[in-house]
Amino acid sequence: MKHCLFFLGKNQEISLSELKNLGIKDLKSFTKNLAYGVYSHKIDLKKFHNQLGGVIKTSQIIDTLINFEEAADRIINELSKNHKKGKLIYGINIHSRDDSKKNRKSLDILLADIKKGLRKHKISGRYLNKRGQNVNNIIAAESLNKKKAKIYDIIEVEEDGQKKFLLAISIAYQNVDKYALRDYNKPFRDAKAGMLPPKLAQTLINLATGFDEAEDRSNKTIYDPFCGSGTILMEGLIDGYNVIGSDISENMVEGSKQNIDFIIEKMNLTQDTNTIKKNIFLHNAIEKFPESLKCDAIATETYLGEAFGKAPTLDQIEEQNKKLKKLYIAFFKNIAEKLKKGTPVVVTFPFYKGKTRSISLSGIIPEIEKLGYMNIELSEEFATLRYIRPDQIVGREIYKFIKL
């Protein structure tokens, strides 16, 4: 078991739900963007981190300190014990409730003490921090991957009224270059049809599948019946799953195939391109599915409706929601006969952000449940998980259902 710190993305509830669904135990929040949890899977922790859509960084706790002053000697010991030759590159991050001015001063003193201590061990070291600042995430990620840097986190916590400090070593950061590659550099993109971010696609998959050890994924198939440009299919392949996709648009089907070719080449994946492309087909999700269709989980961004050039009126929203509700109910009714008992279905529905309130699809959950599904609550605090960017009018509500 590994005791870990998870530095969460902008949407805390989505990040926590993803971690919980992937089997992280004793999960609890320290702050809005930082959570603790116990990792007990066989797969390497770094590889596990790379499949997370909602976690920016994962660190492993190596010690608990009673006093902050213990940190310098503890880190010097960690840095020096396995060092063989060459210059050590390291960084320190302090996460505390104290004012930032005190943090900056404490950090500078700590960095100086560590450098002085390394000299006593005849080790040359260079720290990544700028004066009084934690290490920039992009610099940290690059240094961790390319320069084998050691980056430590010191977290102030309070247990039973006593202040303590968790000392952790950074294991992995989100790779912004790889996300950019499969988001902005893929050959087929269609802004008019909406573009699902790869991180959110990862999260939808994780909410649908739960945790699978690497050797089990090749026996599991994810289906996206509204596959669009193939973002969920791409992320499923990267995670080692079999994928099937369909869409009502021939343009989208062909675009998905282009993107599959691209991601297999650029990410050096081992799956057979031709076999995968045969499993991406033209289909209307409210019509009878092929007899041969079999899957272990559905993860999909449904059709979110007509794109409005400006904020829609209440009448426009109500009219659109009627059409979408009819579409979604027809889909759930149609796919039911193809799903075995226990099959998870993770979907996104739209909601509209107004000046004073948000508008969601009303009454759809009970109707879906009547068709033989159980709605699974993904958040302990909210009725649903919501994803929306600050500049967007239409956001996504994430739901998970289980076929009964």
Residues 186 and 158 in one domain: no
Beta strands in 66-131 (DSSP E): 88-95, 125-127
Q: What is the pLDDT of residue 313?
A: 87
6 and 138 inside one domain: yes
Q: Do 106 and 193 share a domain, yes or no?
A: no
Residue 210 sits in a domain whose CATH number is: 3.40.50.150
Least confident of 10-24, 96-110, 323-337: 96-110
pLDDT digits (tens, 9 = 90+) for 342-365: 999 999 999 998 777 888 988 999
212, 264: one domain: yes
Name the burial class of residue 66, with classes exposed (0-12), middle (13-18) and buried (19+) by CB atoms within 10 angstroms of its CB. exposed
**Same-domain pairing of 306 and 398:** yes
Give me the number of domains the chain comprises. Answer: 2
Is residue 215 domain-shared with residue 295, that is, in the same domain?
yes
pLDDT at 404 over 70: yes
C-alpha closest to that of 76 among 112, 42, 49, 36 = 112
Asked if residue 371 lies in contact with residue 336, where contact means CB atoms within 8 angstroms, the answer is yes
Give residue 168's pLDDT.
Answer: 98
> Which pLDDT value is given to residue 56?
97
Same domain, 291 and 213: yes
Q: At what angle do helices 231-238 and 176-184 cross, to 10 degrees?
A: 140
CATH number of the domain within which 66 lies: 3.30.2130.30
pLDDT of amino acid 100: 73
Q: Give the residue, 38 or 85, on which the prediction is more confident.
A: 38
Domain boundary among 174, 203, 238: 174
Confidence of residue 212 (pLDDT cuts 50, 70, 90): very high
pLDDT of 195 strictly over 90: no
Residues 107 and 63 in one domain: yes
Q: How do residues 239-287 score in pLDDT, each as one tens digit?
A: 999 999 999 999 999 999 999 999 999 999 999 999 999 999 999 999 9
What value, to the nearest 5°, has the Cα angle with vertex 207 and ends 323 and 34? 120
What's the pLDDT score for residue 214? 85
Domain boundary among 146, 174, 202: 174
Full domain range(s) for residue 327: 177-403
CA atoms of 36 and 157, how far apart (whole Å): 11
- Claim to verify: residue 160 and residue 275 sit in the same structural domain: no
pLDDT recorded at residue 200:
97
Identify the residue whose tokens are 């945790």.
211
* Residue after which a domain boundary falls, among 141, 174, 207: 174
For residue range 315-348, list pLDDT tens digits in order: 999 999 999 999 999 999 999 999 999 999 999 9
* pLDDT tens figures, 136-158: 999 999 999 888 899 999 999 98
Q: What is the rounded CA–CA span in Å between residue 344 and residue 156? A: 39
Q: 126 and 205 share a domain? A: no
What's residue 98's pLDDT?
Answer: 67
Pair 119, 181 in one domain: no
Please check whether residues 335 and 352 belong to one and the same domain: yes
For residues 5 and 215, which has the higher predicted lDDT (pLDDT)?
5
DSSP string, 157-183: EEETTEEEEEEEEEEEE--HHHHHHHH
pLDDT digits (tens, 9 = 90+) for 223-237: 999 999 999 999 999
The pLDDT value given to residue 391: 82
Predicted pLDDT at 161: 81
The whole-chain average pLDDT of the chain stands at: 93
Share above pLDDT 90 across residues of the chain, in percent, rounded to a whole number? 79
User: pLDDT-based confidence at 99, cuts 50/70/90?
Assistant: low
- For range 10-38, the mean pLDDT: 94
Question: Comparing 313 with 99, which gets the higher pLDDT?
Answer: 313
Mean pLDDT along residues 106-133? 93
- 85-89, 196-200, 244-248: least confidently modelled range: 85-89
Residue 73 confidence (pLDDT): 95
Q: What is the pTM of this model?
A: 0.95
